[in-house]
């Protein structure tokens, strides 16, 4: 298999990036195109100008429509790191793949003098110049010296050219971005006020003039099925701009887990029991309903690293919660740390849980924790059937930029603990590290958010 890596900051990803990726995709020589979105770079401080989740969203919006031959790698963003080119090459060639690296002619300029960006800036640059396979992207109207071409290369001619710096400048001055970014990215930048001296708000407004719905329906609820039939004329499963869920909180959870990489807002309609996260509007739907203005709130997913008894590490994302739990009939010992500070060297309980605001009305509430409204910059930390210390019954609220560590405090292995992510069992684990995801923060849209907030507030007194 031949794979080409196309790395960059993509801050934001523009039409020029899209066109290069499409040209790489259309080149029969390659079997796979991987767009690598870098984490913070010392040579590009602008990568930290906005929350990384926005770069992740814009990359998916830009490249997600290019088909199965193109994949977007967000691992550097999630891990807040910058993987050097030689490390990427080693990682992707481990299974015998022939790896190529897409670069622009500006990167190879002065190459024949040993003074290109690759030689001067890249780690182990001179070695990579002679060792790696390069796809040199030649943009229309931009000359280059053939003497600067690296030893192992192929040329790819691309008509379009552009600059993320120029796009950021135009966005900062409220100038139109048509033709410079794909329409979905232009709308996203405008709606979230990006590149205007802030990192982007957790709350924004959504107005769709031409609703194209994707429906996720709980088929067990006849009312939901009936409304779905009514909404079919407004559906466009191939090119939607809004995901509408018809069911309970679980239906929304399923939709987010399944479709978060679509980067579309969700509008959940209540057909369940409590509906803490849902719009109570099932009797208000008419032909113009989805052209109204909605309030959208971001609800960051949890990123979980779970370590098994054998030392294996698995990574997961959770919309609601993640927890460690003892086997039935026993009491677990858990060490709990927050930002490296040990809060409980040995919590004696059935288990412990971290929940997002969205998940605070679910299992966390059953543990005795107080629910908090979506959009609140807090996580809920709670214990299940806490025996010791006896005073810790209602849990704690933790800022969302925190890192929480759960560790099995019984090193003998007698008291086994099991991991769960949104209710899915991970098997026996010895530790779990939980933090806010840097790449996944779905938008949930509300017609009257104050009613949702009131429902959560009322739940704290019931």
Residue with tokens 């193109």: 70
Verify cis geometry, omega within 30 degrees of 0, for the bond prior to 375: no
Distance spanning both ends of the chain, measured CA to CA? 59
Q: Rounded CA gap, 59 and 441, in Å?
A: 14
Instruction: Retrieve residue 265's tokens.
Output: 């807002």
Q: Rounded CA gap, 405 and 75, in Å?
A: 21
Nearest to 433 by CA among 303, 319, 342, 333: 303
Which residue of the set 218, 249, 350, 410 is catalytic? 249
Q: Rounded CA gap, 442 and 296, in Å?
A: 10
Q: Rounded CA gap, 26 and 266, in Å?
A: 33
Q: Rounded CA gap, 372 and 360, in Å?
A: 6
Q: Which residues are CB-neighbours of 81 under 8 A, at least 6 positions away?
A: 39, 40
Q: Which residues are CB-neighbours of 268 under 8 A, at least 6 positions away?
A: 244, 245, 249, 251, 252, 277, 278, 279, 444
Sign of the Cα torsion 79, 99, 7, 19 reads negative
Instruction: Retrieve residue 145's tokens.
Output: 């010296």
Residue 249 among the catalytic residues: yes
Instruction: Retrieve residue 158's tokens.
Output: 């691309």
Residue with tokens 């701009």: 241
* Catalytic residue annotation: 249
């Amino acid at each position: 298999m031949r794979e080409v890596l196309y790395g960059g900051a993509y801050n934001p990803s523009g039409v020029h990036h899209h066109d290069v990726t499409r040209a790489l995709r259309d080149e029969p020589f390659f079997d796979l195109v991987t767009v690598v979105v870098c984490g913070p770079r010392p040579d590009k401080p602008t990568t930290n100008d906005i929350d990384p989740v926005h770069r992740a969203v814009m990359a998916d919006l830009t490249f997600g429509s290019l088909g199965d031959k193109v994949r977007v790698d967000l691992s550097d963003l999630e891990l807040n790191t910058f993987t050097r080119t030689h490390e990427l090459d080693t990682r992707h060639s481990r299974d015998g793949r022939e790896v190529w690296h897409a670069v622009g002619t500006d990167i190879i300029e002065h190459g024949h003098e040993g003074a290109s960006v690759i030689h001067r800036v890249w780690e182990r640059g001179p070695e990579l110049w002679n060792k790696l396979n390069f796809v040199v992207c030649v943009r229309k109207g931009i000359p280059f010296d053939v003497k600067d071409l690296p030893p192992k290369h192929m040329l790819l001619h691309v008509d379009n050219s552009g600059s993320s710096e120029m796009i950021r400048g135009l966005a900062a001055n409220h100038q139109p971005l048509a033709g410079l970014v794909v329409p979905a990215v232009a709308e996203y930048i405008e709606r979230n006020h990006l590149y205007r001296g802030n990192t982007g708000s957790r709350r924004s407004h959504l107005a769709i003039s031409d609703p194209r719905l994707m429906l996720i329906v709980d088929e067990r609820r006849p009312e939901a099925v009936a409304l779905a039939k009514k909404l079919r004329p407004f559906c466009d499963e191939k090119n939607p701009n809004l995901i509408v869920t018809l069911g309970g909180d679980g239906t929304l959870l399923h939709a987010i887990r399944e479709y978060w990489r679509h980067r579309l807002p969700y509008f959940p309609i209540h057909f369940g029991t409590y509906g803490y996260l849902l719009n109570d509007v099932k009797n208000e739907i008419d032909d113009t309903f989805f052209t109204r203005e909605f309030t959208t709130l971001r609800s960051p997913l949890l990123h979980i690293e779970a370590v098994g008894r054998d030392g294996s590490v698995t990574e997961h994302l959770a919309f609601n919660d993640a927890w460690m739990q003892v086997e039935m009939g026993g009491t677990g010992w858990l060490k709990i740390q927050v930002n490296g500070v040990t809060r409980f060297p040995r919590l004696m309980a059935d288990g412990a849980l971290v929940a997002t605001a969205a998940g605070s009305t679910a299992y966390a509430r059953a543990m005795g924790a107080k629910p908090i409204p979506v959009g609140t910059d807090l996580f809920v930390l709670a214990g299940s059937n806490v025996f010791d210390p006896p005073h810790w019954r209602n849990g704690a609220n933790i800022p969302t930029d925190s890192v929480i560590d759960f560790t099995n405090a019984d090193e003998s292995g007698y008291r086994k603990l099991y991991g769960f992510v949104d209710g899915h069992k991970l098997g026996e684990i010895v530790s779990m590290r939980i933090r806010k995801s840097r790449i996944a923060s779905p938008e949930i849209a509300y017609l009257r958010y104050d009613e949702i907030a009131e429902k959560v507030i009322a739940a704290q007194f019931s």
